[in-house]
Amino acid sequence: MNFFEYRDGEMHVENIKVSMIADKVGTPFYLYSSASLEYQYNQFKDAFGDLDLLICYAVKANTNQAVIKTLGSLGAGADVVSEGEMRRAIKAGISPQKIVYSGVAKTVAEMTYALKKGIFQFNVESEPELYQLSEVATALGKVADITFRVNPDVDAKTHAKISTGKSENKFGIPWKNIHQICAKAAKLSGIKLVGLDLHIGSQITDLAPFEEAFTRVGNLVETLREEGHDITRLDLGGGIGISYDGENDNPILSHDYAKMVKRVVGHLQCQIIIEPGRFLVGNAGILVSKVVYVKEGAERSFLIIDAAMNDLIRPSMYDAYHAIDPVIENKDAKVAYDIVGPVCETGDTFAKGRIINPLKKDQLIVIRSVGAYGAVMASTYNTRRLIPEVLVKTNEFAVVRPRPSYEDIIGLDQLPSWLSE
């Protein structure tokens, strides 16, 4: 469902005009829909019926506490990749007993914090990590529930920078080595092996790679049980893609994914853990910006807006497509623009030759499908201030991360004594 729609020619989010929020907050800003978050989570959860399932929202997609708390109130746990994300999840009300800790470089300090909080499980990615975790847990008198992240050597057919399940990637333990490392884990103090984990990439829009990987890991579960290991959990990771209105018009549907999961691994009687991120929040957010100038170049027209690559880096970093629309519709013939921002980089480009309604100075536009990997990847490059995040609930809205002042960001610098007056 689309919770950002035109009514009488003007874009609304739920029951509020986008232009009204822009007047109050100032552009640019991120704008999220509570109804979209709730709808996406509930339809995904409901697709699995009575399967023993724990949905752990992948916090890295959008770390705003209002987003985490909205999903947590619906029953979500959290998948985290740093102590900082863990602290955010806990502060937002997620029980540590619903937190799984992923990531290839967990430090002793991070392990210590997680063990003291009593998190649900560690997704262990390497043999050195296993030994380090055993040492830390034993010293604390704790036992860490672990799954091993299996690298199934499956090509997810996604962007090279977000592929994680091939043998060439840095993630996980090669699936052919799992038997040996499980045997080693069984002999370690402070460690309880409870399952296997995998994550083959992000923005995957075909069920086939998932099925191939899940089948391979499901077979491993059966053989490990034959070898005497009590495997009770199967963490299938995340990676389900969304439609970016042009990049993929046929995304994976929740009921198709759930049907495949139950068919491929349902017979194992494991608790199933799934870690959706982009799938839950990607289409729940837009970026609202204002036209600064319309510039007629020698060969093309430029729409220069007040949002920039430091606010939304996906088009520059991944050549990502995002639908872009005016806030106020008009019936004029559409024209082609290169839509660019103010940062001093040619790469500060959101779209080239994009055909949209003609726009003028000070008119508003929106960049769609930015709820995931938008605000979380933002920076203060060019000493630009981070932009606000706003959450809507029916007829209300709230700023859930304010725009910092210039003093806030410049004040982070400290002069050494020899440069101080």
For residue 166, being part of any structural domain is answered with yes
Domain shared by 100 and 245, yes or no: yes
Task: Please answer whether residues 288 and 29 qualify as being in contact, where contact means their C-beta atoms are separated by less than 8 angstroms.
Answer: yes
| Beta-bridge partner residues of 13 | 4, 16
Does residue 162 have a pLDDT over 50? Answer: no
Task: Please answer whether residues 334 and 357 qualify as being in contact, where contact means their C-beta atoms are separated by less than 8 angstroms.
Answer: yes
Q: Which of 247, 281, 315 is the last residue in one of the domains?
A: 281
For residue 84, being part of any structural domain is answered with yes
Does residue 125 have a pLDDT over 60? Answer: yes
pLDDT at 44: 98
Provide the domain limits for residue 288: 4-31+282-410
CATH number for the domain harbouring residue 165: 3.20.20.10
Nearest to 40 by CA among 61, 17, 19: 61
pLDDT in tens, 365-421: 999 999 999 999 999 999 999 999 999 999 999 999 999 999 999 999 999 999 987
Mean pLDDT of 148-163: 64
Domain shared by 12 and 113, yes or no: no
Domain shared by 300 and 215, yes or no: no
pLDDT at 331: 84
CATH number for the domain harbouring residue 303: 2.40.37.10
pLDDT at 154: 75
Domain shared by 286 and 227, yes or no: no
Does residue 6 have a pLDDT over 50? Answer: yes
Alpha-carbon distance of 173 to 344, in angstroms, equals: 42
- Least confident span in 174-183, 283-292, 336-345: 174-183
Domain shared by 162 and 18, yes or no: no
For residue 418, being part of any structural domain is answered with no
pLDDT at 177: 86
Nearest to 366 by CA among 1, 2, 41: 2
For residue 343, being part of any structural domain is answered with yes
Q: Which of 281, 306, 336 is the last residue in one of the domains?
A: 281
Task: Please answer whether residues 257 and 37 qualify as being in contact, where contact means their C-beta atoms are separated by less than 8 angstroms.
Answer: no
Domain shared by 327 and 211, yes or no: no
Does residue 191 have a pLDDT over 50? Answer: yes
Q: Which of 256, 281, 306 is the last residue in one of the domains?
A: 281
Domain shared by 264 and 377, yes or no: no
Domain shared by 273 and 321, yes or no: no
For residue 417, being part of any structural domain is answered with no
pLDDT in tens, 267-310: 999 999 999 999 999 999 999 999 999 999 888 899 999 999 99
For residue 316, being part of any structural domain is answered with yes
Domain shared by 18 and 46, yes or no: no
For residue 415, being part of any structural domain is answered with no
Alpha-carbon distance of 257 to 55, in angstroms, equals: 14
What angle, rounded to 10 degrees, do the helices at 178-185 and 207-226 form? 50
pLDDT at 171: 58
Question: How many structural domains comprise the chain?
Answer: 2
pLDDT at 163: 43
pLDDT at 164: 43
For residue 420, being part of any structural domain is answered with no
Return the active site residues. Answer: 344
Task: Please answer whether residues 236 and 272 qualify as being in contact, where contact means their C-beta atoms are separated by less than 8 angstroms.
Answer: yes
Domain shared by 221 and 100, yes or no: yes
Domain shared by 263 and 379, yes or no: no
pLDDT at 169: 47
pLDDT at 330: 87
pLDDT at 249: 59
Q: Supply 85's token pair.
A: 């994300």
Q: What is the pTM of this model?
A: 0.94
Cα 127 to Cα 41, 124, 219, distances in angstroms: 35, 8, 21
Domain shared by 310 and 213, yes or no: no
